Amino acid sequence: MKHRRNSDMSNVKEMAKQMRIDIIEEVAAAGSGHPGGSLSVTDIMATLYFDKMNIDPKNPKWEDRDRLVLSKGHVAPALYAALAEKGYFNREDLKTLRKNDSFLQGHPDMKKTPGVDVSTGSLGQGLSIANGMALAGRMNHKDYYVYVILGDGEIQEGQVWEAAMSSAHYKLDHVIAFLDFNGLQIDGTNEEVMNVNPVDEKFRSFGWNVQMIDGHDCDAISAAIDEAKRNIGKPNMIICKTVKGKGVSFMENQVGWHGTAPNAEQAARALEELKAI
């Protein structure tokens, strides 16, 4: 059964707020995880799941559904929050993140978690997978879109650019990629580790349709997706300028929160800030 999307963006923004709360609670309960990048992709994820994606939580394997490839799989807490809020599983299950017997592991597992379209975690592979999904859709005369979320540190991987060439070569206009462009990775800034700029010019030179937007503006994200869908014959890259740790003052733009869980006191402070937004 086709899921009708909700065009009320105020609802999307409320879901993004709730998802950020979920993320902090998940990672705090686990005592490990990646809060920084999870918080930076939240608005992208909320817009996809609560405004754009054609999906059915009651039928996760529906063959006509849109697909999501979370190439930066370490931000699984954001994906799990979206899936729980969408109704794929109980919100209480979020507290089991990274537990040995949980179906919510540190990276997405398509064999265990309802709503996960592909297992990810090894960086650099997601765009290649998305290309395969889009080509399969074309061959099977399907009209679904494949959304893929990449990290800015991740695009230092050579496989991303091999895949980018393939996307353009095969004119995969049903691939819509998002770059979580928060400027920070586990070892420091992108410029310090391996400068990726100018990313917009790079993807354009590879034959992509490119937009650059505020990755925390759900209206802008929604409009960019609509624009991407009007594009024919080219893959789509939406470069989202984001803030690592968005919504929690002491986490924002701090590289140390890439893969560090908050303790009880820090989690309480973070939740207080998020609930006050």
Predicted confidence at residue 1, as pLDDT, reads: 37
Q: How far apart are CA 89 and CA 237, in angstroms?
A: 30
Residue-wise pLDDT for 195-206, tens only, equals: 999 999 999 999
The three-state secondary structure class of 239 is: strand
Query: Exposure of 101 by Cβ count < 10 A (0-12 exposed, 13-18 middle, 19+ buried)?
Result: exposed
Q: How far apart are CA 254 and CA 257, in angstroms?
A: 6
Q: How far apart are CA 140 and CA 113, in angstroms?
A: 25
Predicted confidence at residue 234, as pLDDT, reads: 98
Q: How far apart are CA 229 and CA 120, in angstroms?
A: 25
| Whole-model pTM over 0.85 | yes
Tens place of pLDDT per residue across the chain (277 aa)? 344 444 579 999 999 999 999 999 999 999 999 999 999 999 999 999 999 999 999 999 999 999 999 999 999 999 999 999 999 999 999 999 999 999 999 999 999 999 999 999 999 999 999 999 999 999 999 999 999 999 999 999 999 999 999 999 999 999 999 999 999 999 999 999 999 999 999 999 999 999 999 999 999 999 999 999 999 999 999 999 999 999 999 999 999 999 999 999 999 999 999 999 8
If you search the block for the tokens 């679904």, which residue do you land on? Answer: 144
Predicted confidence at residue 7, as pLDDT, reads: 56
Residue-wise pLDDT for 120-154, tens only, equals: 999 999 999 999 999 999 999 999 999 999 999 99
Predicted confidence at residue 8, as pLDDT, reads: 76
Q: Return all residues near 155 (Cβ < 8 A) that are at least 6 apart.
A: 161, 179, 196, 199
If you search the block for the tokens 């039928």, which residue do you land on? Answer: 59
Q: What domains can be seen in the chain, in order of their start residue?
A: 9-276 (3.40.50.970)
C-alpha atoms less than 13 angstroms from C-alpha of 162 in its C-beta half-sphere: 8
Q: How far apart are CA 78 and CA 84, in angstroms?
A: 10
